[in-house]
Amino acid sequence: MRPTSSSARNDGGARAVVPAKHCERQRQARPAIYYIRHGLTDWNVAQRLQGRHDVPLNAAGCAQAACCAAILQDLFRREGRAPESFDYVSSPLVRARETIEIVRAALGLEPAGYAIAGQLAEIAFGEWEGLTYAQVMARDKQVIAARESDKWSFAPPGGESYAQVAVRVRNWYETVARDTVVAAHGGTARALIAHLGLAPPQDAAHYSIDQGVVYLLAGKGFTRHG
């Protein structure tokens, strides 16, 4: 539940009265999300669809996670905020958990001190998981054409659509109480961008979500850092 108090502490520990209009703006403000896509894996290198498969980071992926920590340090410093003033949440998949643990350690925080949210797991690719895009094209060329014509609503055989992912991402976001650092996946990032109204769903489904960078989703827009 988001705080609705009409008072706030100043630096001396006393409570300062906050105007009612300011309180209303605070209630309406959405928590900011500092979103990190997990670092590189060997399946990324091979261009295999990972989905729910639990593939660990490779050496380059670990370096990308450390790079994200440096980007966050710079953002926090500019905002005059300490790393411990944020919540930290990860997808349950190991590539995301390893990413958030590297980030937290580099920020001087206990690596394991983060929450796991099942709703942030990667979009499921069903029967396509483990295949390269070229293999999928050879196997299901007509199905791929259907996907490209409506990527938001399309679900692979045995998998999920972005529309379905958006439902669970929305359920997670409704629990977010304060600004949060997230380590998750490209698919969940696209769903979150659409849910927050930062892009139309069909556009969001085609967005490239890069590794080794931080996306700040705040207010009515999002920015890429790195």
Which residue shows structure tokens 């920020």?
Answer: 107
Instruction: Note whether residue 157 is domain-resident.
Output: yes
Q: Which CATH number fits the domain that encloses residue 218?
A: 3.40.50.1240
Quote the domain boundaries for residue 211: 34-225
- Whether 76 shows a pLDDT value over 90: the answer reads yes
Q: Is 122 an annotated catalytic residue?
A: yes
Instruction: Note whether residue 16 is domain-resident.
Output: no
**Number of domains comprising the chain:** 1
Confidence bin at 145 (pLDDT 50/70/90): confident
Q: Is 38 an annotated catalytic residue?
A: yes
Instruction: Note whether residue 21 is domain-resident.
Output: no
Q: Which residue has the higher pLDDT, 112 or 5?
A: 112
**Could you read off the pLDDT of 105-134 as tens digits, one per residue?**
999 999 999 999 999 999 999 999 999 989
Residues 6+ apart with CB under 8 A from 126: 51, 155, 156, 157, 158, 159, 160
Instruction: Note whether residue 22 is domain-resident.
Output: no
What confidence score (pLDDT) does residue 148 get? 86
- Whether 24 shows a pLDDT value over 60: the answer reads no
Q: Please give the single-letter amino acid code of residue 158.
A: G
Instruction: Note whether residue 198 is domain-resident.
Output: yes
Residues 6+ apart with CB under 8 A from 203: none
Instruction: Note whether residue 39 is domain-resident.
Output: yes
pLDDT average, residue stretch 160-172: 98
pLDDT, averaged across the chain:
89
Catalytic pick among 122, 129, 160, 195: 122
Closest CA to 183 of 131, 121, 140: 121
Instruction: Note whether residue 111 is domain-resident.
Output: yes
Q: Which residue has the higher pLDDT, 141 or 222?
A: 222
